[in-house]
Structure 1
Amino acid sequence: VCVILHLHFNDFKTNLGQEGHEWPTVTCPFLVSQQTITPIDDTRHLLVSGYMDQRVKGLDVRIISIFNKNTTHPMHCLFCCAGSLSTSTPASILPHPEDFGFAYVTTDVMCHIPQDCNATHVTVLTEPFTQNPTKPSNHTWLPLRNRNKHLSDQEKLKFNFTVCISSLFGDYDNVLQFVQTLEMYRLLGVDRVVIYKTSCSRNFDRALQIYSQEGFLEVVPWPIDKYLNPSPGWLFSRSGGDVHYFGQMTTLNECIYRNMERSRYVLLNDMDEIIMPYQHNNLMSLMDALQTQHPETGVFLIENQIFSKTIFEPSRRFHLPQWEGVPGVNILEHIHKEKPNGKVSYLYKIIIQPRMVEQTSVHRVIKAFSSKVLVPLDVCGIIHVRDSFRGPDYKNFQMDKRLWDFQELLIPRVDEVLKKVGLLNETGRAEE
């Protein structure tokens, strides 16, 4: 879907001096993309979103994209300058270094804005463009975001914490764990959650709608399956397909730039993970302490802790009858986490200051304008309820009841949301 604005010409102007006859100035011929994925004409490449980004010397704009690494040719950027077309400028194509063997890779298209151009929109071309009113452009344009350079940091930042969840696809139906996770993040001080949605179950979609209506959740449509054959796995040799894990690398990077001028911190993690402080009651207190200790740091690595979803807490005190018919995992019942054994190298998820990061991968930041620090597990860790790598033997696990510290506030909040979704009736029982 595109918004189509009319093409019109300014009055023909003639300069009688040394410049001689001039072409009329052409206003921007808008076909403005309303999609999160926009193909580049005559290529196998996809544009996602354009951002002002002047942190790299000599470049002004970064376009988050997905390029086919097997087809390369020069590219050019064309700008709409507050209503008038610019001439095109050469684009720098910067593929991200991690593609996991897939043909399509997250790519930054970097552009320089021509002098005296107050750029509002950008498009990418395979040929240089010279303004000519007899041959108007019909390319699809992206709006340029993060243009509020005149605002102070305090004026820009609406949120302290935003959580980015990179991919939602398939018939995903883990409603109970999702609601528990979002309510836990609310208790921990998160202001906004962003999810990139390809597809999910009907129950799950109702939960998304409830949180979206409340303003806590931003759902970004992600129709990657309309353009590519996305892989449900992370490695091409195992899963096949065109692009890693439904384009997860692209959405994580897009989410950083989407929130660069509105959130002090961005948390990059998955649907079934909670970044949990252990010595503080909320994330703001945690980050205040960490930033005091590491004032020049903008990247904080949080170690994963796997809680087995097949081992249940013996007393079953949180096996609540009202949740029995709700699809999904009850994280309060799973408090057995894998003991470190020195053989398994656990991966990290990340808390960042978005303006200090240029490119990220899933478990590490690729390019940053600051140092990074590994946060000790007794300060902060990830509660990740999933299938364990260890098997059912209790000696491989240790108990961690940190979630129970929040149960008095968490349970009634979860019940209230599940009622709104239609999975609990007014008596607090699960709907049949």
Structure 2
Amino acid sequence: MRFQIVNKDVKNRGDFKILELSKYVSNDDNIFTLLVGKNSSGKSRLLASVITDFKKSADRYQYYPPSKIIAISTGANDKFPRVSDINTSYLFYSPRNKIDRAKRPLSTRNPLFKTDFLHLERIFDYIALEDYFVRYNFKAISGILSHLGLTENFNVSYNINSVVFDQYFDEIYGSKTSEEIDSSSSFFYEPAKLKDVPRNIRVEFIEFFLTRDKNFSVNIESRHGFSSFLRSTKDLFIYLVEINVLRISKISFYEKKTKSRIGLADLSSGQISFLGIFLTLAVFLENNALVCIDEPEISFHPEWQLDFMYVLQKYFSHYKGCHFIIATHSPQIVSGLRNDNGFILDLETDILHRADSYKCSADVQLAEVFGYPGYNNEYLIRLAMNYIAMIIDDKFVSFEEEEKEKIRMLFKLVDNLDASDTAAVLIKQMGNFMAVKEVPL
């Protein structure tokens, strides 16, 4: 069943209002809602509120809840909930989510886990350890890497966490064979530090690491997943990652142009943000999900901001029935929305617009959507010059209501322009001509 939020009730200083987040659509294609507005207009609060509606105590969407909720933030000030009482599967990605994996084990055996807090290393655990993720979404993963100038192959290296290793396995590390392991009193008396380790795992562990030291590491290629060497011990390997005995030591990529190897730590902040957002979706997205993304443009070059919606729409179009809600300050992201199911909610006016009415340049977005046109905005200059010419030629009597509305917009925006700005000068000249000609609005 397709998931969609059409209306959302919002509490603001004690008062309630209803915001329209989308128009009803009859197809199963994904829906995109962009939230725009100045700082403190409530974009991040609205995103958080959408998610907290799915707490167990809430029943508003009880008939058609999302299959999964994915929250993504690359900044430091998101307001996404850190709670686990969400009435559906909930994942939250943030670079700040570097948590103790021993306390929150990987749920690779049950991908429909309830709650998880993701960061890049955790995502690469899933890509490396679950072959079907790579096979099913290889096109998306490959396209994302290619967009960053990287080849489709990368390596994930693991080594042994000696502290946790000692905690769990030092007592039996000296055993030589499975027969000796079977006869070890450690396995029969279950000492406290081994009580959570399944017996068959302990046996496999000894046999697997018998000839290796504690600095053992492996490399896993993205296209092929596990090597044949690891396939026979995959369950063991996953378990050791779950209990934090094995941990990622390095993630490496290959540049397309030079074929040279580059580590994750050597990527730019923009590349890391790009990877975090889109790999989260490549690994965890499913049909009929709710996806909330807070200010994805952080650390992005303007060209990448413009490409953001293109990548999102291109590589995830095979999923159906999802609703993406994205808070943004970027006119490039707004300009990049090319979708019949796309909407823009202006939180300054609480008006919902269809994306097809905003398929225009960043200058138009800055002026009409964000209300801050910047210096020498070509769109405003062109409008002002056009209206001045019409006024001089006495064509103002033919002004349509839409043109009158744009003239009102120009007068409103002039207060946000520097006095020396060409657009400001022309708008003031237009006002003078209108006064002389007694042009009505």
TM-score by length of structure 1 reads: 0.20
Who wins on radius of gyration, i.e. which is larger?
2
**More helix per residue:** 2
**More strand per residue:** 1
Quick one: higher RCO (CA 8 Å, sep 6+), 1 or 2?
2
TM-score by length of structure 2 reads: 0.20
